[in-house]
Structure 1
Amino acid sequence: MRSKVAGRGNVLWKDCEGKGRAKMLRGRHRGHRWALRALLSVFIFAFLFAAIPVSAHQAESAHQFTLQIYGNANEDDTIDMRDVTYIKLVIFGKKPETALCDANYDGRVSMLDVVQTKLIIVGKEGELTIVDSANRTVTVKMPVKRIVSFANYNCEVLRSLNAKDKIVGVDEFTKYYKRFFPEISELPSVGTIENPDIEAILSLEPDIVLTFGTYEMPYIEEKLEGTGIEVVSFYFYDPKFLTEEITKLGYIVDRREEAKEFINFYEGVIDSIKSRTEGIPDDEKPKVYYECFWQDYMTGNKYATDHWIIETAGGINIAADVADNSMYIGYPTVSPEWIIEQNPDIIIKRSSSPPYGYTGYEFDDDSWAKSLREEIMNRPGFEAINAVKEGKVYIEDTSLCGFLSVAYRAKVFHPDLFEDLDPQEIHQEYLNRFQRIDYDLNKHGVFWYPPLED
């Protein structure tokens, strides 16, 4: 098996926010790692949602991408007989060679690649070579039957693809979510992302280990070298690139149709909202100040996932052009005076599970969210801000990532335009249809405070 940083030919790998995820994660202090794990606790997902701007993808939207799987010779978003034809034309000198033509990843394009591509199409391939979200080329032995996960996002996505039975071990952070992961949280622990239990991983005999991007991945990869266990990295939080990652995972775990069904669902939600917000003039859009959950006065600029969420929901991110000034690319800190001067119409403060809050799937009492909102509204000088004057200060749990966050925010940003939109109904359908858990949002959870009016 070969696993290396992708860099062959014309495989394009563009960061989702314009910056490299690896840059974002390099140099992070261990003292901030729990904050990262908490921020990433969600999905939908990332969707869920709100995250650190670090992805590498060719596309500019959720619907345009090159599926980074070897065998996708024509570099579209799927592998089909058109790729078989393309490889044949390359062999005959009628088409230019692309990096993904080398379906069996042996360094040359031949009829063996035609055979491999046909096997991929029918789901009978013995190996599958992909470029993961950490920009690494990884060859996975197929079929994948046993998976160890080092991120709750991974588990959430696998459950969305009806592949949770393949999970055999999880990290300690995932085990915390007893309500959201009633069965998965009972699986054996493999330690934490920064302190993995290698012996526990080996004892579970997984086919692959799923990690969160580049986060501690080199260490895990080094420890597992020579064991036959491949490390594959995904982010699963940025809605702009979720389609590609879900599609890729669908191939890996043999859940391609389930992946398509889920993609159709969440893209349908986003598209229905974008179709309305794209035509709103800027002078009719609310100015929005977003604040991270792990640090007061840390916001997101145009490189942050939350910038995309705000814009898609029909708002204007007041911090879009603020320069990076912290270790988190895309997440600069600002002063209270700057916020007051910008005078946002809406303030959104993210919250999470302990130690950064008491919201989400595991909590029913919204008193902590209420107190956090009051603290923000009572900050010195904030009484002059429109958002505070009009009571438009909201607490949003990190589990409302991506398309769910877009739905809740669109409802708040433009209540008249989205009078027919019910974010909780979308959220409940996601839980019932894709997460397949017994969880009634009318009775449980704290995700948006104050609650949306009926």
Structure 2
Amino acid sequence: MRDKVVGRENVLWMNCERQGRAKMLRGGSVRVLRRMCALMSLSFICAFILFAAIPVSAHSTIHKAESNHQFTLEIYGNANEDDTIDMRDVTYIKLVIFGKKPETEFCDANYDGKVSMLDVVQTKLIILGKEAKLTFIDSREGYPRKIVTVEKPVKRIIPLADNQADGIKVLGAVDKVVGVGTEIKNKPILYPIMSKLPDVGNVWGAGPDIEAIISLNPDILLTYEFRPSPEELDDKLEGTDIKVVRYTFNVPKELPRVFKTLGYVLDKREEAEEFIDFFENHMNLIKERLEGLSEDEKPKVYIEWCRPYLAFNKLSGAGQLCDIAGGINIAADLTGVGSPHSLVVDPEWVVEQNPDIIIKVVGSENSGYDVDDVEGIKTVRDEIMTRPGWESINAVKNGKVYLITIELLDGPQAVVAAQYFAKWLHPELFEDLDPAAFHQEYLNRYMGINYDVKERGIFIYHPELYPDGR
């Protein structure tokens, strides 16, 4: 009997021992797992701090340490609000975190609503060109603006108009284009590759083809600040991953900022910087010669768009070119309805203003790269010279009515138009300028087409100075 009791006790003891060992093993596993998690968390934190602390190489080829451009780069991460993103922004964000600097809008590099060490990491990733997302502000002052966040890298783009297509060519990003607007489709001389891509409608007339756009699944769709309207485009793309980015590439005072921003967005920073330097160098050549010019020495200028009596104000690209070239735009301070940069004026008002020079912009039906007959542009000038009552205007009396194609004003080629404006407004100061030769240099350098501007096309017109339209 005692042996049976002892046997049962031995069995119970062994069962308890096994259960105890199992509990010990389970408890040990939990403790080990907890230690491993703690070590992993600590390792992550250390790596995070290390990455936030290490400097980006001062010899990085992505960014120059200093920049001479005069604009604010409106990309989140540009904490000190200058024209580039570099280690100074990293330092600024850290000083904001420590309460040593005031917070700026662009300190929130990862755009999560607060400034933290995560923004330091995001800014360093931007500097290195390794960011997974990028947030920036599109458009420009005077127009509706919005904050856009894009996934990086951007691989698929649709430009809706030739204005944006020119910007893409300058940046060397044609390989990212998957579809184009009708304007681009209809210009194979300027866009031999893009013109062969699918048509997604137009900024004018019937408007964009939303179904075609969605079917091509672009990351970004580039268009003007004001056309198509948000109701025609943005609202109809809501619910997709397509980002509508609104930029115009022909406004001199905005062009450097636009190219710098898209250089970051499209990973074309060096190309953007190179063009900005090219653009600013040629603009500065004009500005330097006009330095010290008094207001009395500046001619009054009336700039008219393709449509009769549609004048440009100071927000327009042509209006800014007039200012840079040393002229006084008589419509500079006028505002219109519908378009912030242009308005229809009364013909008698133009007579009262009595401009010294008239610059008329001519549409693509009578000018441009695929037009060789000068008669169309000549007819446009004749109409201006014979408008009732305009014979008393100084510009008409003195024969200072110049015509220029829209092709040289609706895109980065405005840098070429600037030279023509300077020669027309101050011929005595710019006798040595050869805008046609500069035009050719621009085409060779950025458009990459086999085209001779002295043999083909109609770009400017004046019966004595440019009787053949070139």
TM-score of the two chains, using structure 2 as the length reference: 0.78
Secondary structure of the equivalent of 1:182?
coil
Aligned pair in 2 of structure 1 residues 124, 414: CA closer, same or farther (>3 Å)?
A: same
CA deviation after TM superposition for structure 1 residue 117, in Å = 0.7
Residues 178 and 362 in structure 1, CA contact (< 8 A), matched pair in contact too: no
Corresponding residue to 1:342 among 347, 353, 365: 353
- With over 3 angstroms needed to count, the CA separation of the structure-2 counterparts of 1:376 and 1:257, relative to structure 1, is same
1:395 corresponds to: 403
Residues 1:122 and 2:128 aligned together? yes
Alignment equivalent of 1:285, drawn from 298, 304, 309: 298
Tell me the distance in 2 between the aligned counterparts of 1:63 and 1:118: 22
Q: Secondary structure at the match of 2:342?
A: coil
CA contact (8 A) 2:159 2:181 kept: yes
Q: Provide the residue aligned with 1:148 in structure 2.
A: 158
* Higher relative contact order, structure no. (Cα contacts within 8 Å, ≥ 6 residues apart): 1
8 A contact 1:103–1:117 mirrored in 2 = yes
Q: After TM superposition, give the deviation of residue 427 of structure 1 in Å.
A: 1.4
Deviations 1:388-430 (A, max 9, x none): 2322111111122232222101111111210111111221111
Deviates more, 1:415-424 or 1:398-407: 398-407
**Alignment map for 1:170-319 (pairs within 5 Å):** 170-193=180-203, 195-215=207-227, 216-294=229-307, 296-319=308-331
Q: Which runs of 5+ in 2 are unaligned?
A: 1-67
For 1:220, what is the secondary structure of its paired residue? coil
Could you tell me which amino acid in structure 2 is paired with residue 186 of structure 1?
A: K
Counterpart Cα distance in 1 of 2:73 and 2:301: 34
Alignment partner of 1:86 is 2:96: no
Q: For each residue in 1:235-290, what CA deviation from the matched residue of structure 2 results, as whole angstroms up to 9, or x when unmatched?
A: 22211111111100000110000001101111111111011123222332222222
Q: How far is the alpha carbon of 1:231 from its aligned partner? A: 1.9
CA contact (8 A) 2:222 2:247 kept: yes
Residue of 133, 138, 143 corresponding to 1:132: 138
Count of residue correspondences = 388
Range with greater deviation from structure 2 (232-241 or 302-311): 302-311
Partner Cα separation in structure 2 for residue 85 and residue 325 of structure 1: 45
Corresponding residue to 2:372 among 364, 367, 374:
364
User: What's the CA shift for 1:330?
Assistant: 4.2
Alignment match, 2:363: 352
Task: Return the alpha-carbon distance in structure 1 between the equivalents of residues 122 and 335 of structure 2.
Answer: 45
CA distance in 2, matches of 1:338, 1:156: 36
**Is the contact between residue 180 and residue 362 of structure 1 (CA under 8 Å) also seen in structure 2?**
no
Cα distance in 2 for residues equivalent to 1:320 and 1:203: 42
Could you tell me how far 1:435 is from its partner in structure 2? 1.4
RMSD of Structure 2 on Structure 1 (CA): 2.0
Alignment partners' CA distance in 1, 2:316 and 2:211? 36
Displacement of 1:86: 0.9
Partner secondary structure for residue 217 of structure 1: coil
Aligned residue number for residue 161 of structure 1: 171
| Structure 1 residues 302 and 99: alpha-carbon distance in aligned structure 2, compared to 1, 3 A threshold | closer
Asked whether the 8 Å contact 2:251–2:316 carries over to 1, the reply is no
Q: State the distance in 2 between where 1:164 and 1:445 align.
A: 24
Structure 1 counterpart SS, 2:115: coil
Task: State the match for 2:423 in structure 1.
Answer: 411
Larger mean Cα displacement after TM superposition, 248-257 or 367-376 = 367-376
Contact 1:364 1:443 in 2 (8 A): no
Aligned sequence identity (%): 55
Corresponding letter in the other structure for 1:333 = V
Residue 28 of structure 2: aligned partner: none
Alignment counterpart, residue 384 of structure 1, candidates 392, 398, 418: 392
Q: Distance between the aligned counterparts of 2:345 and 2:116, measured in 1?
A: 56
Q: Distance in 1 between matches of 2:304 and 2:423?
A: 19
Aligned counterparts of 2:243 and 2:331: Cα–Cα separation in 1: 40
Report the residue type matching 1:438 in the other structure.
Answer: N
Rate the CA distance shift 1:285–1:214 in 2: closer, same or farther, 3 A.
closer
Instruction: Report the CA distance shift for 1:320/1:153 in structure 2 as closer, same or farther (over 3 A).
Output: closer
The offset of 1:107, in angstroms, is: 1.2
Secondary structure of 2:458's counterpart equals coil
Provide the C-alpha distance between the structure 1 equivalents of 2:395 and 2:436, rounded to a whole number of angstroms: 23
Q: Tell me the secondary structure at the aligned position of residue 213 of structure 1.
A: coil
Contact 2:161 2:202 in 1 (8 A): no
Structure 1 range deviating more: 85-94 or 398-407: 398-407
Q: Secondary structure at the match of 2:131?
A: coil
Give the match for residue 115 of structure 2: 109
| Letter of the 1:400 counterpart | L
2:378, 2:174 → 1: CA distance? 35
- What secondary structure does 2:436 align onto? helix
**Is the contact made by 2:161 and 2:182 (CA closer than 8 Å) also made in structure 1?**
no
Q: For residue 105 of structure 2, what is the amino acid of its counterpart?
A: A
Q: Which moved more, 1:193-202 or 1:271-280?
A: 193-202
Residue segments in structure 1 that go unaligned for 5+ positions in a row: 1-61
Q: Which residue of 2 aligns with 1:95?
A: 101
Moved more, 85-94 or 222-231: 222-231
Which of these two proteins has the greater Rg computed from alpha carbons? 2
Match of 1:424 among 418, 433, 436: 436
Amino acid of the residue matched to residue 363 of structure 1? V
Contact 1:72/1:103 (<8 A) preserved? yes
Q: CA deviation at 1:326?
A: 4.7
Distance 1:387 1:99 in 2: 48
In structure 1, C-alpha distance between the alignment counterparts of 2:243 and 2:262, rounded to whole Å:
14
SS of corresponding position for 1:350: strand
SS of the residue aligned with 1:261? helix
